[in-house]
């Protein structure tokens, strides 16, 4: 399916929208002061080892310590006793006190407390950005992505993407093995995984990518010998550069950017690393903002809401929690079909398409539970499930989907590597603390009455003054005036009211005078 990529650049923020058939499918945002960390390589310091969890906390210079599990350590494959391994992994490069001659290579067979120790310097790479209260997820299995290849600096495996046809995989593997043998010097040979877009690459293109990746790794190693932990050794590409490396494909018709300066820099980057994308790059100089061309800002606003309207009259309700995301499908005002079963079937078919799009647009990850409208005919259920899988297949992020459960729910997972659109653009409401609801004014009134009674038993002030929101004070002066007067008589103290417009409905203060 053909696509257009729109890039809106500003000094403080870069925004990218992927548009397919006139509809916005994905939105990527990178803020100058909040750049994602996935792919960054650090020389960290082990701050705490947790034997019970077989994990460790690593200080990489962030506000919160990052998390490393024993499964993300790997053995020293350069050791004489190391056996050949079939699985594709990358190796750790662990330098102690910045000394390249003291490289420590953990062994996954051993418990973590026998592999690393507090205070040790360890080279690590970020797998997942910090999300909410969770620190970054790390791996000591370093990998560096290029245009055609992923470099595994201390591995000896040549792997091929599963998306490349099986008939071509062995031939590609042999080509890369010959190229790496010709360029390897024994110390930085490493392993490689061929990416999907390497399927039709020439030997010269592969050779250039190999040289670039090895040179990058050498710079990282040199930095690890000079810098003290915690230090940043390698930063991943900017969002605009990743557009050319990861998002542009053979289906991409155009890549439009609205900044002349950034357009020039992007052309230089493309000429050096991704020459195939050069003809697609365009500088957008129109007076109308580039995101207005396809209503991207409007789509972003809609993606922050719970309700998604369907063209048929039905709608979705999407709720995102820390543990999972739920999607509820409703028929709404859709009554145009010949019978009820047909109405439900058509609504669910449209919902399957809309849900797949919303997952991409909102970048929702983790566990997703979809509550389609109950369908009695089995062929309807199979058709909806098939359509859902078909739409999810267009998603570049890995997804796994099951069938209908006994309760009629569809469970699926979508890989999560960064914050969702809502987490990036929004924050919990100061009034409701993210619950989505607030206590009624009457509930707050009764909370205040109970609090005054507790205070009266503990203290003996001359008077109690209630400072609360206008809604609560108004209710005390009207419908709840009898209860307030009764409490005043019971405790034998006057109770005065003070309205404070800056307070939310749940906020109040009781002043002892």
Q: Measuring CA to CA, how many Å separate 354 from each of 57, 272, 315, 318, 436?
A: 40, 39, 10, 11, 24
Confidence bin at 448 (pLDDT 50/70/90)? very high
Instruction: Tell which wins on pLDDT, 432 or 121.
Output: 121
Q: 41-234 and 441-512 share one CATH topology?
A: no
Where does 41-234 sit in CATH, by number?
A: 2.40.50.140
| Spatial separation of the C-alpha atoms in residues 409 and 411, rounded to whole Å | 6
Q: Measuring CA to CA, how many Å separate 309 from each of 19, 312, 321, 482?
A: 19, 9, 21, 46
* CATH architecture of the domain covering 441-512: 3-Layer(aba) Sandwich (3.40)
Residues facing 56 on adjacent strands: 49, 68
Confidence bin at 186 (pLDDT 50/70/90)? very low
Give pTM, 2 decimals.
Answer: 0.68
Assess whether pLDDT exceeds 60 at residue 95. Answer: no
pLDDT of residue 336: 54
Assess whether pLDDT exceeds 70 at residue 86. Answer: no
| Mean pLDDT, the chain, whole residue set | 85
| Spatial separation of the C-alpha atoms in residues 126 and 38, rounded to whole Å | 5
Name the H helices within 426-510. Answer: 441-458, 470-477, 481-491
Q: Which two tokens stand for residue 453?
A: 């009674």
pLDDT of residue 291: 93
pLDDT of residue 245: 81
Tens digit of each residue's pLDDT (9 = 90 or more) over 99-139: 333 334 445 468 999 999 999 999 999 999 888 788 999 99
pLDDT of residue 98: 33
Compute the radius of gyration of the chain from its Cα atoms.
29
Q: What is the mean pLDDT of residues 150-157?
A: 87
Assess whether pLDDT exceeds 70 at residue 405. Answer: yes
| Spatial separation of the C-alpha atoms in residues 487 and 448, rounded to whole Å | 11
pLDDT of residue 21: 85
Ranking 91-100, 171-180, 259-268, 370-379 by mean pLDDT, the lowest is: 91-100
pLDDT of residue 338: 64
Confidence bin at 340 (pLDDT 50/70/90)? confident
Where does 3-35+238-296 sit in CATH, by number?
A: 3.30.420.60
Q: What is the DSSP string of 35-66?
A: ---TT-EEEEEEEEEETTTTEEEEE-SSSS-E
Domain ranges of the chain: 3-35+238-296, 41-234, 305-425, 441-512
Specify the residue for token string 């109970």. 450
Longest dimension (CA), the chain: 95
- Percentage of the chain modeled with pLDDT above 70: 90
């Amino acid at each position: 399916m053909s696509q257009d990529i729109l890039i809106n650049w500003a000094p403080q923020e870069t925004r990218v929208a992927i548009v397919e058939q006139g509809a916005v499918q994905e939105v990527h945002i990178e803020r100058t002061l909040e750049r994602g960390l996935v792919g960054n390589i650090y020389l960290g310091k082990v701050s705490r080892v947790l034997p019970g969890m077989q994990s460790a906390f690593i200080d990489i210079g962030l506000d919160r310590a990052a998390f490393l599990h024993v499964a993300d350590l790997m053995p020293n494959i350069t050791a004489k006793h190391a056996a050949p391994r079939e699985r594709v992994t990358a190796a750790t490069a662990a330098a102690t006190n910045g000394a390249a001659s003291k490289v420590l290579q953990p062994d996954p067979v051993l418990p973590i407390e026998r592999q690393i120790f507090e205070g040790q310097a360890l080279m690590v790479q970020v797998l997942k950005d910090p999300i909410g209260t969770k620190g970054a997820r790390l791996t000591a299995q370093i990998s560096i992505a290029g245009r055609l290849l992923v470099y595994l600096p201390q591995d000896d495996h040549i792997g091929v993407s599963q998306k490349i046809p099986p008939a071509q995989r062995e031939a590609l593997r042999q080509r890369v093995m010959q190229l790496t043998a010709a360029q390897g010097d024994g110390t930085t040979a490493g392993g490689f995984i061929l990416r999907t877009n390497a399927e039709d690459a020439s030997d010269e293109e592969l050779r250039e990518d190999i040289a670039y990746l090895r040179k990058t790794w050498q710079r990282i190693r040199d930095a690890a010998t000079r810098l003290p932990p915690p230090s940043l050794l390698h930063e991943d590409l900017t969002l605009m550069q990743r557009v050319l490396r990861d998002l542009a494909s053979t289906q991409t018709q155009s890549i439009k950017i609205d900044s002349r300066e950034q357009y020039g820099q992007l052309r230089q980057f493309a000429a050096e690393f991704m020459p195939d994308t050069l003809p697609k790059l365009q500088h957008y100089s129109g007076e109308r903002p580039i995101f207005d061309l396809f209503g991207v800002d409007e789509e972003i606003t809609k993606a922050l809401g719970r309700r998604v309207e369907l063209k048929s009259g039905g709608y979705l309700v999407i709720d995102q929690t820390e543990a999972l995301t739920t999607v509820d499908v409703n028929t709404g005002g859709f009554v145009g079909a010949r019978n009820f079963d047909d109405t439900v079937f058509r609504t669910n078919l449209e919902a399957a398409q809309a849900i797949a799009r919303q997952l991409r647009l909102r970048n929702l990850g983790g566990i997703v539970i979809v509550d389609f409208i109950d369908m009695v005919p089995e062929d309807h259920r199979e058709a909806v499930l098939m359509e859902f899988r078909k739409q999810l297949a267009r998603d570049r992020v890995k997804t796994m989907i099951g069938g209908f459960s006994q309760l009629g729910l569809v469970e699926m997972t979508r890989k999560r590597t960064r914050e969702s659109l809502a987490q990036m653009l929004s924050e919990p409401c100061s009034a409701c603390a993210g619950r989505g609801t607030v206590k009624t004014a009457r509930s707050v009134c009764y909370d205040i009455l109970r609090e005054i009674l507790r205070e009266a038993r503990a203290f003996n002030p001359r008077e109690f003054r209630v400072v609360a929101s206008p809604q609560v004070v108004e209710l005390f002066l009207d419908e709840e005036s009898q209860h307030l007067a009764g409490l005043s008589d019971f405790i034998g103290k006057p109770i005065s009211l003070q309205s404070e417009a800056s307070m939310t409905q749940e906020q109040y203060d009781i002043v002892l005078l």
